Structure 1
Amino acid sequence: MFTFLPVTHPTSDTKHPLLLLQSAHGDKYFFGKISEGSQRSLTENKIRISKLKDIFLTGELNWSDIGGLPGMILTIADQGKSDLVLHYGNDILNYIVSTWRYFVFRFGIDLSDHIMKDKEVFKDNIIRVKSFNVLKNGGNGTDEFFNSFQKGVLSSIVSKMFPKHAPTDRYDPSSDPHLNVELPDLDAKVEVATNYEISFNPVRGKFKLDEAVKLGVPRGPLFAKLTKGQAITLDDGTVVTPEQVLEKERHFAKVLILDIPDDQYLSAFVEKFKEYDCAELGVVYYFLGDSVTINDDLFKFIDLFEKSNYGKVNHMISHNKISPNTISFFGSALTTLKLKALQVNNYNLPRTDRVFSKDFYETFNKPLAKGTSLCESQETPLRTVIEKDNIHIFAQNKTVTLEPFHRSEESMKCEINGSVPALSWKQIFEDHIQPLGFPLADIDTVINDQLHVNNFNNTTEKKKHVEIITLGTGSALPSKYRNVVSTLVKLPYTYSNGDIVNRNILLDAGENTLGTMHRMFSQLAVKSIFQDLKMIYLSHLHADHHLGIISILNEWYKYNKDDEMSFIYVVTPWQYNKFVNEWLVLENKDILDKIKYISCEHFINDSFVRMQTQSVPLKDFNELIQENSGQEERKKLDLDTNSSYRDINLINQMYEDLSISYFQTCRAIHCDWAYSNSITFQMNESNKHDTFKVSYSGDTRPNIKEFSSAIGYNSDLLIHEATLENQLMEDAIKKRHCTINEAIGVSNEMNARKLILTHFSQRYPKLPQLDNNIDVKAKEFCFAFDSMIVDYEKIGEQQTVFPLLNKAFAEEKEQEDESAGSEDVEDVDITPKKQKKS
């Protein structure tokens, strides 16, 4: 028996489909896209992947499609997995993995790639997978972008990112000539979609002992030969064939996984599959990109697969206008609802609205809730030969089970189970909120009056105030209750004529930051936030702080590409800028023209500006590697002397564009190239003394000298990490983080006016330590929760509900917590002695 289980389907916060294939013995394979939020979905649904063997990536490989893969690999490695194979139909795969070389490093796991040419077959003792590579517009492109030398360099880089043994000395990938090497140039955009046919080894028929004895076959080795399908000859010359002593073997239905990125691929798919043998085809999964049109042309292609000889073909459709926008992370949504019951204006109800395809739902008579918005692609009904019962909507709980069948004697055994339950906020409120007995928390106040209400920047008063959205508040890796860290700060600027413009800045952006925003806000509100987004700041290179940045840049470009005067400032460690350039050349190089990059090091509060290392030219790679081979002391890379000069002109331009008085960084006490920052913004054109100073710690040990007493002193707002509870001082020192008391101590020394504590260890997924902390000298403070919207003027209001917070989460404390005791696996200094054990 084999089961196909959807891990994710297209929703606001899980962008694409991912399918888990599991055998009866627990062997596991991934098929599809590993978008941001995928590993959190595994945690949410308690899906274990310790027996995961292979990942078969489909379609194209933009960041939207595989943004969750780096974090997934890190987590799999930290769970002790020794090997993992990535399968794909194009040699761009090693280039993609190589772009992560400055922030993805794990020893002990052998990560390898298998580039599957068109119609190449992968086989193991369980499954047989055949690839189909489809070129956009049916072109004559290639599945090979690199020559043998370039492939060798990329393979070398990947092997050094995942070495079998840990380095014995302090290790910095940006100083390793095996890693800090220029990647090959890309001359053309990769426009190839990979698809797969999955088939299974047949099940041998039972051995008919009585028949064998009757035919005179002696017990022993000859029995074994017959069971293996070999004919035997008896001593008297009689030939006995397996068919005489074995029941008929049983077979499984075939499964097709077709990933169509956009309409320009469709004609090529028709050409590729018009002669496809559907004889034993049981299920076809269609992973359709957002821009694929639901119309007759699409279903003319789908109709090609209605030819099976052994029963009906089931068609499973994944598309953002067909799959439901269900709540992907219910644990987190329930936390938001409980907190909203205590502070109704500090949270938005998670949004589940979606515009569905009228063409699809009316043609196949699928149920939809009353009041659902519909759109149509054509005036006439869809023309198709497929019966409505054979079409299924791809969704998380829609499982497909294949069992063996006898050819010519019975139909294929393909069972589809699961339905999408309707979401009822009313029912959730009655089950989980009402029993808590919170004052003023009635269903009208918390639910009915808040449907589709946006509580960010939504009143005349708020428009004049600084506001903060703590989009993610956890550390290390996403958990059931907290996503990884990201904070958005809105800073209004008032012109002399009274007009107000917003400057939104994003302080770190962990995986699926964009998904959280889409779950919180309408498309119109998201557009407004991104049109006001002026800066992205990255504190350091740990994956839990930046795996969401590429998605943020893509979304920003969508709303600002037509504005010639619109640019975004990106302030990061220099290694991350290399990654951004290498990635966007692959995906959309036009975005690079809209980015103004400045190194964190160029804002350092120090006369000494560290130089970045010079990349090894691609042509010199082999020569340099040979020079370093066998040497105890590796040859040091050259330094880029120009990188020590601050980009004063660009810094001054940013000051002017964003009305900034001062921007400073200091070196954080965490890992190499980690920073804390302080930014002073001008707030009023008519009053140059009206300023607002925000300081952000990033990840660090308490830094009184450089942060509290220097760049951050007298901050209006301090946003500080408080990863660990106070009794875990030893862990805090080992992992270079702060306890809650230490974070408060930094604030007190800084003389910060207000304080937000965030970045809590996932071992405390629901509630940080609220009591037994030292006194906070700031006028107001609060603890951050995911999706919290807080007006700077009202930060202290949370303190009034402190007594009720423990009561709010009593229900969760009674349940087994999958995240309890989890290590900070993504927040790992790549120095071997600092590695966390799984």
Structure 2
Amino acid sequence: MFTFIPITHPTSDTKHPLLLLQSAHGEKYFFGKISEGSQRSLTENKIRISKLKDIFLTGELNWSDIGGLPGMILTIADQGKSNLILHYGNDILNYIVSTWRYFVFRFGIDLNDHIMKDKEVYRDNAITVKCFNVFKNGESGTGEIFNSFQKTLLGSIVSKMFPKHAPTDRYDPSSDPHLNVELPGLDAKVEVSTNYEICFNPVRGKFKLDEALKLGVPKGPLFAKLTKGQKVTLDDGTVVTPEEVLEKERHFAKVLILDIPDDLYLNAFVEKFKAYDCTDLGVVYYFLGDAVTINDNLFKFIDTFHENNCGKVNHMVSHNKISPNTISFFGSALTTLKLKALQVNNYNLPRTDRVFSKDFYETFDKPLSKGTSMSESQETPLNTIIEKDNIYIFAQNKRLTLEPFHRDEEPMKCEINGNITPLSWQQVFEEHIKPLEFPLADVDTVINDQLHVNNFNNTVEKKKHVEIITLGTGSALPSKYRNVVSTLVKVPYIRANGDTVNRNILLDAGENTLGTLHRMFSQPTIQLIFQNLKMIYLSHLHADHHLGIVSILNEWYKYNKDDETSYIYVITPWQYNKFISEWLVLENKEIMKKIKYISCEHFINDSFVRMQTQSVSSEEFNNILQENSDCEEKRKLDLDKASSYRDVELITQMYEDLSIEYFQTCRAIHCSWAYSNSITFQMDELNEHNKFKVSYSGDTRPNIEKFSYEIGYGSDLLIHEATLENQLIDDAIKKKHCTINEAIDVSNEMNARKLILTHFSQRYPKLPQLDNNIDVKAKEFCFAFDSMIVDYEKIGEQQHIFPLLNKAFIEEREQEDESEDSENTPSLEIKLKKQKRD
């Protein structure tokens, strides 16, 4: 038996479809796209991938399609996985992995790529996968981009990113001549879609012992030969064939996964599959990009698999106007609802609305809730021969199970299970909130009066205040209750004519930051937030702080590309700028014209500005490969002397554009090229004394001298990491983070007016340590939760609900205890069995 389990489908949280194929013996394979949020979806649904060995990537490879892959690889490596193969139909794959070289590094895992040519077949002991590469606009050719030397260069970089043994001392990838290498140039965007046919090895028929004995086959080695499909010759010369002693073998239906990025691919798909052999074809998955139109042209192609005498084929369709916008991370959404019941105006109700395809839902008579928004692509109904019972909506709970069948004797066994149940916030309230008996928390106040209400920048009073949205508040990796860290700060500026304009700045942006924004806000509000987004600041190169930045830049460009006066300032360690440049060459060069990059080092509050290392050219790298291995370790890269000169002209321009008085960084006590920062904003064009100073720690040990006493002193707002509980001081020292008390001490020494504590360890994902902390000298403070919207003037209001927070998470603690018990039970049984055997 084989099962296809949808891990993600197109929602606000997870942009694209991902399938987990699992055999009855435990083999696991991914097919599809590893979009941001994929890893968190595994955690949410308690799906383990310890036996995962192959990832088959489909479609194109834009960041939207594989933004979750770097984090997924890091997590798989941390779980002790020793090998992993990435399959794809184009050699751009190694280039893509190489762009991550400054922030993705893990020893002990052997990561390999398998570039599959068109019609190439991959086999193992369970499945056979055939690759189909389809070029946009029907172009032909091999699709190869790099020559043999360039492939060697990229392969070498990837192997150095995943060495077998850990480095013996502190490691900085940007100082390694095998990693800090100039990547080969790209002339054009890679426009090829990879698709797969999956076949399953047949099940051998049962051995007919009585029949074998009747034919005179003696027990022993000859039995084994026959079961392996080999004929045998008896002593008397009689030849016995496997067919005489084996029941008929059983087969499985085959599965086709087709990834169509946009309409310009459609004709090429029609041409590619017009003569496809549909024998035993049971299910076709259609992973349709947002730019694919649901119309007759699409279904003319889908009909192909019936016109080719395919018999009964099931069709599973994934599209953002077909799949429901369900809550992917219910644990997090429930946390938001509980906190909203305590502070109704500090959270938005997670949005589940979506505009659906009228053409699809009416043609196939699929149910939708009353009042659902719909759009149509054509005036007439879809012209298709597909019956409504043979087409399915791809969603997380739509599992496909394949069981073996006797060909020509019985129908294929393809069972699709799982219903799509609309979410009822009222029902969730009744089951999870009402029993808590929070004062003033009734269903009308928390749910009915708050449907589609936006609580950010929504009143005359708020428009003049600084507001903070703590989009992600966890550390290391996404968890069920907290996503990785990201904080948006809105700083208003009052012009001389009385108009207020906003400067939104993003302080770090971990994976799926954009997903959180889309879950919180309507499209018009999203557009306004991004039109006001003026700066992205990255504190350091650890992946949990920046894997969402590319998506943020793409979204920003969508709303600002036509405004010639609009630019975004990107303040990062210099290595990340190299990554951005290499990536956007691959995806969208035009965005680079709108980015104004400044190195974090150029804002350093120090007379000494560190120089960045120069990249090794491809020619020089070729020489390095020829050198003796002993020399490789001692080789040092040249320094870029020009990088020590601050970009004063661009910094001055940023000050003027964003009405900033001062921007400073200091070196954080965490890792190489890590920073804390302080920004002083002018707030009023007519009153130069009206200023606002915000400081952000990033990840660091307590930095009293440089952060508290120097750049951050007297901050109006300090946003500081508080990764670990106070009793875990040894862990904090080892991992170079702060305990809650240490973060409070930094605030106290800084004389900060207000404090927000964030970046909490996943050891306590729901609720940080509220009690037994030292006194906070700031006027107000609060603990950050995901999706929290807080007016700077009201930060301290959270303190009034501290006594109720522990009560809010009783249910989650009980579930955790039950989960730990269930996980411990099998291991205990195994121990008892082992003792019995011994």
Q: Indicate whether the TM-score tops 0.5.
A: yes
Q: 2:620 is matched by which residue type in structure 1? A: D
User: Is residue 296 from structure 1 mapped to residue 330 from structure 2 by the alignment?
Assistant: no
Equivalent residue for 1:206? Answer: 206
The equivalent residue for 1:788 is: 788
Task: Identify which range, 251-260 or 213-222, moves more after superposition.
Answer: 213-222
| C-alpha distance in 1 between matches for 2:353 and 2:448 | 15
Separation (CA, whole Å) in 2 of partners of 1:782 and 1:817: 28
Q: Is 1:718 matched with 2:718?
A: yes
Aligned-partner Cα distance in 2 for 1:420–1:103:
39
In structure 2, C-alpha distance between the alignment counterparts of 1:497 and 1:236, rounded to whole Å: 109
Q: Distance in 2 between matches of 1:654 and 1:793?
A: 27
Give 1:746's aligned residue: 746
Alignment of 1:373-412 (within 5 A): 373-412=373-412
Question: Quick one: structure 1 residues 249 and 308, their matched pair in 2 at CA, closer, same or farther if it must change by over 3 Å?
Answer: farther
Give the superposed CA RMSD: 1.2
With 21-30 and 620-629 compared, the bigger mean Cα shift is at 620-629
- Residue 614 of structure 2 aligns with an amino acid whose one-letter code is Q
Quote the offset at 1:624 in angstroms: 2.5
Q: Is contact 1:279–1:308 with CA below 8 Å preserved after alignment? A: no
Instruction: Give the aligned partner of residue 686 of structure 1.
Output: 686
CA contact (8 A) 2:468 2:488 kept: yes
- State the distance in 2 between where 1:120 and 1:153 align: 24
- 2:32 aligned residue: 32
* Alignment-mate amino acid for residue 810 of structure 1: I
Amino acid at match of 2:782: C
Deviations 1:233-256 (A, max 9, x none): 222222211111111000000000
Q: Residue 629 of structure 1: CA displacement?
A: 2.1
Q: Find out whether 1:69 has 2:69 as its counterpart.
A: yes
SS of the residue 2:528 aligns to: helix
Distance 1:141 1:647 in 2: 45
Give the Cα separation in 1 of the matches to 2:764 and 2:626. Answer: 48
Q: CA deviation at 1:632?
A: 7.5
Alignment of 1:505-520 (within 5 A): 505-520=505-520
Q: Which residue of 2 aligns with 1:367?
A: 367
Query: What is the identity, as a one-letter code, of the residue corresponding to 1:488?
Result: L
1:673 aligned residue? 673
Q: Structure 2: how far apart are the matches of 1:110 and 1:79? A: 13
CA deviation profile, 1:654-706 (whole Å, cap 9, x unmatched) = 00000000000000000000000000000000001100000000000000000
1:574 Cα deviation after fit: 0.1
| Deviation of 1:309 (Å) | 6.5
- 1:213, 1:380 → 2: CA distance? 67
> Partners in 2 of 1:37 and 1:593 — Cα distance?
29
CA contact (8 A) 1:283 1:316 kept: yes
Identity in percent: 85
2:18 maps to 18
Contact 1:714/1:750, CA 8 A, preserved across alignment: yes
Say whether 1:349 aligns with 2:322: no
AA of the residue aligned to 2:789: I
Letter in structure 2 aligned against 1:392 = Y
Cα displacement string for residues 527-572 of structure 1 (whole angstroms, at most 9, x for unaligned residues): 0000000000000000000000000000000000000000000000
1:470 partner amino acid:
T
Aligned equivalents of 1:121 and 1:142: distance in 2?
16
Letter in 1 for 2:785: F
Residues 37-48 of structure 1 mapped to structure 2, 5 A cutoff: 37-48=37-48
Residue identity opposite 2:399 in structure 1: T
Matched, 1:624 2:649: no
After the TM superposition, which residues 761-772 of structure 1 pair with which residues of structure 2 at under 5 Å, given as runs?
Answer: 761-772=761-772
What amino acid is the match of 2:676? S
Any idea what SS the aligned residue of 1:285 has? strand
Q: How many Å separate the matches in 2 of 1:308 and 1:78? A: 47
Q: Deviations over 1:797-830 (max 9, x none)?
A: 0000000000001111111269999xxxxxxxxx
- What residue in structure 1 maps to residue 96 of structure 2? 96
Which protein, 1 or 2, shows the higher relative CO under an 8 Å CA cutoff with sep ≥ 6?
Answer: 1
Question: SS of 2:290's equivalent?
Answer: coil
Between 1:306-315 and 1:377-386, the stretch displaced more is: 306-315
SS in 2 for 1:596: strand
In the TM superposition, residue 311 of structure 1 has moved relative to its aligned partner by 5.0
- Give how far 1:221 is off: 1.3
Partners of 2:109 and 2:306 in 1: CA distance:
43
Shift of 1:631: 2.6
Letter in 2 for 1:797: E
Secondary structure of residue in 1 paired with 2:414 = strand
1:171-191 Cα distance to aligned partner (Å, 9 max, x none):
111000000000000011100
User: Contact 2:568–2:595 (CA<8 Å) still a contact in 1?
Assistant: yes
Q: Tell me the residue number matched to 1:584.
A: 584
SS of the residue 2:415 aligns to = strand
Structure 2 Cα separation of the partners of residues 616 and 574 of structure 1: 16
Counterpart residue number, 1:598 = 598
Q: Distance in 2 between matches of 1:242 and 1:701?
A: 70
CA contact under 8 A between 1:480 and 1:819: conserved in structure 2?
Answer: no
Matches within 5 A, 1:425-440: 425-440=425-440
Partner of 2:489 in structure 1? 489
Contact 1:479 1:819 in 2 (8 A): no
State the match for 1:757 in structure 2: 757
Query: How far 1:142 moved relative to its partner?
Result: 3.5
Kindly tell me: are residues 303 and 414 of structure 1, through their superposed partners in 2, closer, same or farther at Cα, counting changes over 3 Å? same
Determine if the alignment matches structure 1 residue 172 to structure 2 residue 172: yes
Q: Which residue of 1 aligns with 2:333?
A: 333
Aligned to 2:87: 87
The one-letter code sitting in structure 2 at the alignment partner of 1:752 is: A
Partner SS state of residue 427, structure 2: helix
TM-score by structure 2 length?
A: 0.97
Distance in 2 (alpha carbons) for counterparts of 1:337 and 1:693? 32
Alignment partner, residue 836 of structure 1: none
Distance between the aligned counterparts of 2:109 and 2:298, measured in 1? 42
Q: 1:657 to 1:820 in 2, by over 3 A?
A: farther
> Any idea what the Cα deviations from partners look like across 1:547-602, whole Å, max 9, x if unmatched?
00000000000000000000000000000000000000000000000000000000
Amino acid at match of 1:558: K
Equivalent residue number for residue 546 of structure 1: 546
Give the secondary-structure state (helix, strand or coil) at the position aligned to 1:815: helix
Cα deviations by residue, 1:96-149 (Å, 9 ceiling, x for unpaired): 000000000000000000000000000001000000000000012542100000
Q: Secondary structure at the match of 1:723?
A: coil
Instruction: Tell me whether 1:244 sits opposite 2:244 in the alignment.
Output: yes
Residue 680 of structure 1 aligns to which amino acid in structure 2? Answer: T
The one-letter code of the counterpart of 1:278 is C
Alignment match, 2:116: 116
Q: Deviations over 1:381-409 (max 9, x none)?
A: 00111100000000000000000001110
* 1:215 corresponding residue in structure 2: 215
On the 8 A contact 2:316/2:394 being kept in 1, the answer is yes
In structure 2, the residue matched to 1:827 is none
Contact 1:2–1:24 (Cα < 8 Å) also in 2: yes
1:2-61 CA deviation, whole Å, 9 max, x = no partner? 000000000001000000000001110000000000000000000000000100000000
Determine the C-alpha separation between the residues in 1 that align with 2:818 and 2:79: 14
> Given the two structures, how large is their TM-score scaled by the length of structure 1?
0.97
Partner in structure 2 of residue 183 of structure 1:
183
CA distance in 1 between counterparts of 2:44 and 2:170 reads 36
Amino acid at match of 1:637: L
Aligned to 1:810: 810
Aligned to 2:291, the other structure's residue is in SS state coil
Q: d(CA) in 1 for partners of 2:813 and 2:244?
A: 62
Cα distance between partner residues in 2 of 1:629 and 1:557: 45
- Displacement of 1:642: 0.3
- Aligned partners of 1:226 and 1:769: how far apart in 2? 66
* 1:633 CA drift (Å): 4.9
Partner residue, 2:644: 644
**Matched residues in 2 for 1:180 and 1:818: separation?**
48
2:275, 2:308 within 8 Å by CA — same for their partners in 1?
no
In 2, are the aligned partners of 1:397 and 1:420 still within 8 Å (CA)?
Answer: yes
Query: Does the 8 A contact of 2:624 with 2:632 survive in 1?
Result: no
Distance 1:805 1:235 in 2: 82
Unmatched runs of 5 consecutive residues or more in structure 1? 822-838
Q: Deviations over 1:204-256 (max 9, x none)?
A: 11111111111111111111111111112222222211111111000000000
